[in-house]
A and B are shown apart, each in its own frame.
Chain A
């Protein structure tokens, strides 16, 4: 009786030894651990969709009500910087996907390279966003802090935009509604930029850990889940780009 118990205990202990160091004690297998954390990440992204969903609903309603204000507000955005930022983000998504791949094939050098590139592109995106916001500040298009409806009451006063779109002057009532457009613009791109900032910070943490070989020993869950997050933030931007920049340009 006692013998068999000892044998069983030894077997248990040996089994315990076989677990890779990254398996947390409350999971039975590595697969279960991966499945669980991956599923959790997808659920988290679902909550993010609902979070941004509130903003998209507000945008949809306001755009329907104040269509002319939203069209002319949209004309004020820089299509050049918007497109550049979209390209930057899509490339960063590619480098992120390559990071996941490098971690899977356990190539530390490549992983570090691609993580650093992703980090850099993230910073470039935030930099360009900063340039755009600064432009809005200069042109008095920051609702609540520094706002003027001049460009919408008298579009000709803003020759650059006027040259391209030949906007008609809005009624004073409708011109005031452009504030709603810019409020939503700042709320949506601001919330997105906040997510980028969080992503870039986590990237710093990941680069440090990757240097110590944390992700190239077969345990890629963290890199993969962060990849999901990064792609998600990318997709949100694609929607923002379409809804805020592109939609009113025919």
Chain B
């Protein structure tokens, strides 16, 4: 492991951070706030989502503290309802959905296709401003008393029975949705129209395939959420609407419309994470991703299936048994492309020269945790077990395994992997490996007991629970503390590395992507001249040849 690291790092005595790069090009706050450079917008996004992650994380901490004891003693039951609702809303719409696409994706998509910028740079900036406006509205919602519908805005609870700030929360999500639509639209156009010469579809890095699939979901799904939440807001204001049973409206219609977006949203959150894992696993195994085409198409397949499984959220809501049967079958079919990915990554490791730098540790963690999260999804997709397990902690554990164990691990993996490209400096390796380990242990300690709690019958969304569940809840809360340390560490040492990290050089990982063939941090235009793609993705032999040629040239000079 250390041998590879030493080999790949450039000679520290000669390496310098290039004077001209996207960070140093212009100075001053305005040059950031009015920028159209995708790398600067990605940086703005990174700061904003980290901010919201810590708000959401603090709320999660409150939830776990309340559940330390069986009684509802830290806060009143309705405060608890608000806390978990705000936790869900902030984490889903302000962290998970924009996490990889708007930060790492924004930073990388143009570079990976060999372009100077996204196709619509101003729209990209607009998307960040929409995100900020939505964020301010959400913080306003929280400041004036919050909302307690859960992140799902379930009607008629949200429209008739609650007197909290549903309208401002719904409008905030509406605006955040448009920010995500614009990002998705930009990615699709960029990947279609901005590829450099020689960059065919099947030479695209898999990160782009999965972001493309996620972008399709953003573009097609989010508008449905927007109109649904508009109708909820109208119904609250005018006391009449299509979801209101008092006037012959149908609450189930809300469920259909809401989950038509919000199920694909799960894949909006996880697909870009898949992309990160493909890049990292290939780089640290020194091997082309096994079955490139299958992995690429599995992303597209997930995007297609994603639109036909939404009713599995509604098995206990009185939909017809036949519909439940069909949706159950379709749900299980999503497991196939997901499994293709997991198997192909495993095969990529096989006989590769695997090293365990931090991004790789996070990725391996991802593969294990996502597999558990995905498999328990199959349990919940079977109608019989779903009726017993839904609305229990089993569901909570399931989606936290996918979202936190999967997506957050992938996000951290990607941040560490591209940090040297982004900032020009390395993060400290030893402490970050420790942080990855702490995160993994903390995560399992937090969420694995919840599977057991769920099967024992502990319902979700209650501030109090029967005393016999306390032991496992104490484990879970203890785990959350460990997990908190695991998330705090990267913030500290990544900030530290901005100034004191070792100089990274252009290609510290000896990776093959186009983004590594330019300086770190990159120029505002990304490349000195538009690159020409003359090899397949993940072609390590090509890279070796390049390196040999460069060495020979240097010897001649």
Q: Residues of A with Cβ closer than 8 Å to B?
A: 24-26, 28, 32, 35-37, 39-40, 43-44, 46-48, 50-55, 57-58, 61-62, 65-66, 143-145, 176-177, 179-180, 183-184, 187, 191
Contact = CB atoms under 8 A, between A and B. Distances in A.
A26 B115 contact: yes
Interface string B214-234: 000001111110111011001
A47 B223 contact: yes
Question: 3 closest Cβ contacts across the A-B interface?
Answer: A144-B238, A54-B227, A51-B223
Contacts of B188: 43
B198 interface: no
A183 B248 CA distance: 12
Interface of B: 115-121, 123, 181, 185-186, 188-190, 192-194, 219-224, 226-228, 230-231, 234, 237-242, 247-250, 253, 256-257, 525, 530
15 contacts: A32-B193, A40-B119, A40-B123, A43-B188, A50-B220, A61-B250, A62-B250, A144-B237, A176-B247, A177-B248, A180-B247, A180-B249, A183-B234, A183-B247, A191-B230
A145 B228 CA distance: 21
B248 A35 contact: no
Given A35-B193, A54-B227, A58-B231, A40 B120 contact: yes
Nearest to B234: A187
Given A25-B116, A36-B193, 16 more contacts: A26-B115, A35-B193, A39-B193, A40-B119, A43-B219, A46-B219, A52-B227, A58-B231, A58-B257, A66-B248, A143-B238, A143-B240, A177-B247, A180-B242, A183-B234, A183-B238
B153 to A, nearest CB: 14
Given A51-B226, A176-B248, A40 B185 contact: yes
B120 A51 contact: no
A231 B347 CA distance: 51
A47 B222 contact: yes
A54 to B, nearest CB: 4
B235 to A, nearest CB: 9
Contacts of A187: 231, 234
Contacts of B242: 58, 62, 180, 183-184
Contact of B117 (A26, A43, A57, A184): A26
A51 B227 contact: yes
Given A36-B189, A144-B238, A183-B242, A48 B257 contact: no
Contact of B223 (A25, A28, A37, A50): A50
A31 B538 CA distance: 31
A183 B241 contact: yes
A144 B239 CA distance: 6
Nearest to B257: A54
A27 to B, nearest CB: 8
